[in-house]
Amino acid sequence: MSVTTVRLQAEVEHQLEAIASRLHRSKGWVINQALSEYIDKQHLQQERWKQTLDAMESAAQGKLVDASEVHNWLNSWGTEKEQDAPRSGK
C-alpha cells in the first residue's frame, strides 16, 4: 500500500475525524472508502457518457425504433404475451 499526503480544510478534517470516531475506524480507512466510491462513480459516469455517444451516433445513422413499438413492448411486460425488445429497422 502506498502513502499519499493530502491537505484538508479544517472543516473537512473535523468531519473526517467525527466520522472515523463514529465508525470506530481510522481516518485512512474512511478516506479509502470515500475515494473508492468516488472512483467507481466516475467510471460509471464515463461508461454512461460512452453509451450516450454511441446512442447518438446510432440515431444519426437512422438506427431508430418507432415510439409506438417501444410503448407496445413496455405495455407487454408482465403479461402472458410479453414481447421481445423491438429492434431498429437498420
- pLDDT, one tens digit per residue, over 37-67 is 999 999 999 999 999 999 999 999 999 999 9
Does the pLDDT at position 90 exceed 70?
Answer: no
Residue at grid coordinates 451516433? 57
Write the Ramachandran bin of 64: left for phi over 0, alpha for psi from -120 to 50, otherwise beta: beta
Coil vs helix vs strand at 82: coil
Please tell me the total number of residues recorded for the chain in this structure.
90
Top mean-pLDDT range of 47-51, 66-70, 83-87 = 47-51
Domain boundaries, the chain: 10-76
The reported pLDDT for the residue numbered 19 is: 98
Q: What is the mean pLDDT of residues 8-28?
A: 97
Across the chain, mean pLDDT equals 95
Determine the Cα angle at 74 with ends 59 and 53, to 5°. 25
Share of the chain above pLDDT 70, in %: 99
The reported pLDDT for the residue numbered 1 is: 85
